[in-house]
């Protein structure tokens, strides 16, 4: 990591070996930022208020940290502090010495949303993009000189991505997202390598898939702007690859974007991204049943949130028709996780969303029937899926009128969510807390809601 002037040009950068001081090294190793803040402030002549303004913390928080009365434990805050103060990631124990933020500022989702959608539309509808412009979205990806690549090099990228997916499913993204970011950063310059013409489409798809997964893991740790940047890189590569699977991966990417929009309570935006996904197949090979089904699932979920039961039913019908045509033996790499349990859970999640928006006990019962066997099927290798869907199952039981089971499953949901490294999974606990509110007079519900509040905090 290069040391940089964190004052934006108002003062000298920190000395090159600033963080090599043994006392600071020891403090950083135990994530004790008190000595670091005091030393930085002394070096730069900053007050606690100025330092707090740079780090997004108030003066009182800075004071408590410096006095040892508060510790930073949230990964996103630690990462932001490391980036702003130029702390080498290796000093904090991050693997491969990588920082995990990109150039976007927190909160820019709202300000940059229109520009993001314009870029997505341009890529989805076939606007050609120079690979170097894609690399510019990720400024840490610097050219490494000309290399010769063969099939084995590309296969190594593909297999690494498979490994990231497998670990994400088992543990959540919190422990591996940084490694994937580093890998993507070091892989993008390979677009300049000397590759046999017949292998270049495969190389572009391999990097596009890696960017897709890195984006999804960024979404899982709620780094939403970073996720969008990675997805734009992946979409541009997939659309420009001239690979037979380029359109399918592009549509799958747009499903991921729609899932993020839905998570952020932007159903109209999710529907627009679904339409973009459907558009990429025009004039190209037909989408795989799994990708087409996922797009329909995103549409059904968005309609459910809007309370559009008719639109939800239509999209659910399309989703079920597509999923019925999936051949589990010939799934594409990005659809490899779509087993029968996952398909049932995805459908159950839509019914749960409809039950919440419509207050429909029948929809809640349908959700229970689909989610119950699904979550019971998810083993340790699918711990994240279990953590994502158990809160929905508990909420569906509550909306269907089975309060005792809702409480029991709710406690299981908390255990599942807290066992994986996925900030995104906590959103399900927040929704469950809201669903249970009308039932708060029940002792069991009151106890569960109190535990949900503590866990969320």
Same domain, yes or no: 151 and 198? yes
Torsion of CA 52, 57, 58, 63, to 10 degrees: -70
| 204: in domain | yes
Q: Is residue 4 part of a domain?
A: no
Judged against a pLDDT cut of 80, whether residue 123 lies above it is answered with no
Domain presence at residue 354: yes
Identify whether residues 50 and 198 lie together within a single domain: no
Asked if pLDDT for residue 3 goes beyond 70, the answer is no
Strand partners, 194: 148
Q: Would 352 be classed as within a structural domain?
A: yes
Say whether both 153 and 283 belong to one domain. yes
Q: In this structure, are 63 and 30 located in the same domain?
A: yes
As a whole number, mean pLDDT of residues 113-122 equals 72
Domain coverage including residue 62: 18-97
Q: Which of 97, 128, 148 is the last residue of a domain?
A: 97
Per-residue exposure over 194-205, b if at least 16 CB sit within 10 Å of its own CB, e if not:
ebeeeebbbbbb
pLDDT of residue 28: 87
**Do 85 and 132 reside in the same domain of the chain?**
no
* Same domain for 127 and 48: no
CATH number of residue 54's parent domain? 1.10.260.40
440 and 307 in a common domain = yes
51 and 183 belong to one structural domain? no
pLDDT for position 146: 52
The stretch 426-453 carries a mean pLDDT of 92
Identify whether residues 430 and 305 lie together within a single domain: yes
Question: Are 245 and 205 a contacting pair, CB within 8 Å?
Answer: yes
First-last CA distance in the chain: 33
Is residue 237 located within the same domain as residue 126?
Answer: yes
Dihedral Cα 31, 37, 40, 45, nearest 10 deg: 180
Alpha carbons 353 and 405: distance in angstroms, whole number: 19
- 3-state secondary structure (DSSP) of residue 127: coil
Q: Is residue 103 part of a domain?
A: no
Is 10 part of a structural domain of the chain?
Answer: no
- pLDDT 10s digits, 358-413: 888 999 999 999 999 999 999 999 999 999 999 999 999 999 999 999 999 999 99
pLDDT for res 4: 37
pLDDT value at position 139? Answer: 53
Map residue 48 onto helix, strand or coil: helix
Token readout for 179 is 């490694």
Identify whether residues 268 and 366 lie together within a single domain: yes
Do 71 and 152 lie in one domain? The reply is no
C-alpha distances out from residue 322 to 262, 265, 315, 332, Å: 21, 26, 11, 14
At residue 272 the predicted structure's pLDDT band, cuts being 50, 70 and 90, is very high
8 in a structural domain: no
Q: Is the pLDDT of residue 177 over 60?
A: yes
Beta bridge partners of residue 148, listed in sequence order: 194
The tens digit of pLDDT for each residue in 284-304 reads 678 899 999 999 999 999 999
Go through 403-423 and write b for each residue having 16 or more CB atoms within 10 A of its CB, e for each that does not: bebbbebbbebbebbebbbbb
Number of domains present in the structure of the chain? 2
- Give residue-wise pLDDT tens across range 7-36: 333 334 688 788 899 899 888 888 889 999
Give the pLDDT of residue 112: 52
In this structure, is the dihedral angle defined by the CA atoms of residues 245, 250, 253 and 255, taken in order, positive or negative? negative
pLDDT digits (tens, 9 = 90+) for 307-356: 999 999 999 999 999 999 988 788 898 988 889 999 999 999 999 999 99
Lowest mean pLDDT among 73-87, 199-213, 442-456: 73-87
pLDDT at 100: 35
Structural domain contains residue 3: no
Q: How far apart are CA 359 and CA 380, in angstroms?
A: 33
What does the pLDDT average to over 180-195? 88
Domain end marker among 40, 68, 97: 97
User: Can you give the CATH number for the domain in which 257 is found?
Assistant: 1.25.40.10
Among 51, 74, 97, which residue terminates a domain? 97
Mean pLDDT of the chain: 85
- Say whether pLDDT at 128 is over 60: no
Q: What is the pLDDT of residues 225-239, one digit of tens each?
A: 899 989 999 999 999
């Amino acid at each position: 990591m290069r040391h940089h002037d964190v004052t934006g040009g108002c003062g000298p950068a920190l000395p090159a070996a600033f963080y090599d001081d043994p006392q600071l090294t020891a403090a950083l190793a135990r994530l004790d930022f008190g000595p670091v803040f005091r030393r930085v402030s002394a070096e730069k002549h900053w007050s606690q208020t100025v330092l707090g303004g740079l780090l997004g913390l108030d003066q009182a928080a800075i004071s408590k940290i410096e006095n040892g009365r508060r510790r930073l434990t949230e990964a996103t805050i630690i990462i932001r502090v490391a980036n702003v103060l130029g702390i080498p990631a290796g000093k904090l124990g991050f693997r491969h010495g990588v920082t995990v933020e990109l150039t976007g500022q927190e909160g820019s989702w709202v300000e940059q949303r229109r520009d993001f959608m314009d870029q997505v539309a341009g890529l989805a509808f076939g606007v050609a993009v120079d690979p170097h412009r894609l690399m510019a979205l990720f400024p840490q990806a610097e050219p490494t000189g000309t290399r010769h690549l063969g099939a084995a090099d590309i296969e190594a990228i593909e297999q690494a991505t498979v490994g990231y997916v497998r670990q994400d499913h088992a543990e959540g993204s919190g422990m591996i997202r940084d490694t994937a970011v580093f890998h993507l950063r070091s892989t993008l310059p390979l677009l300049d390598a000397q590759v046999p013409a017949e292998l270049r489409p495969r190389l572009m798809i391999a990097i596009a898939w890696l960017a897709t997964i890195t984006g999804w893991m960024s979404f899982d740790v709620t780094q939403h702007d970073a996720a969008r940047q990675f997805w734009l890189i992946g979409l541009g590569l997939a659309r420009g690859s001239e690979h037979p699977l380029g359109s399918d991966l592009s549509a799958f990417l747009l499903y991921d974007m729609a899932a993020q929009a839905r998570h952020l309570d932007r159903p109209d935006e999710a529907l627009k991204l679904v339409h973009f996904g459907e558009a990429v197949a025009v004039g190209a090979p037909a989408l795989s049943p799994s990708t087409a089904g996922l797009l329909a699932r995103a549409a059904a979920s968005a309609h459910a949130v809007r309370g559009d039961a008719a639109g939800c039913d239509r999209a659910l019908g399309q989703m079920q028709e597509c999923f019925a045509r999936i051949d589990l033996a010939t799934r594409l790499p990005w659809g490899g996780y779509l087993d029968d349990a996952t398909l049932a859970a995805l459908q159950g999640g839509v019914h749960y969303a409809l039950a919440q928006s419509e207050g429909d006990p029948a929809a809640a019962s349908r959700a229970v029937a689909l989610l119950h066997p699904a979550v019971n099927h998810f083993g340790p290798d699918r711990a994240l899926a279990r953590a994502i869907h158990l809160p929905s199952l508990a909420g569906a039981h509550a909306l269907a009128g089975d309060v005792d089971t809702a409480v029991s499953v709710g406690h299981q949901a908390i255990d599942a969510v807290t066992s994986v490294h996925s900030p995104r999974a906590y959103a399900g606990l927040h929704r469950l807390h809201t669903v249970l509110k009308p039932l708060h007079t029940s002792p069991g519900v009151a106890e569960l809601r109190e535990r949900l509040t503590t866990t969320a905090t």
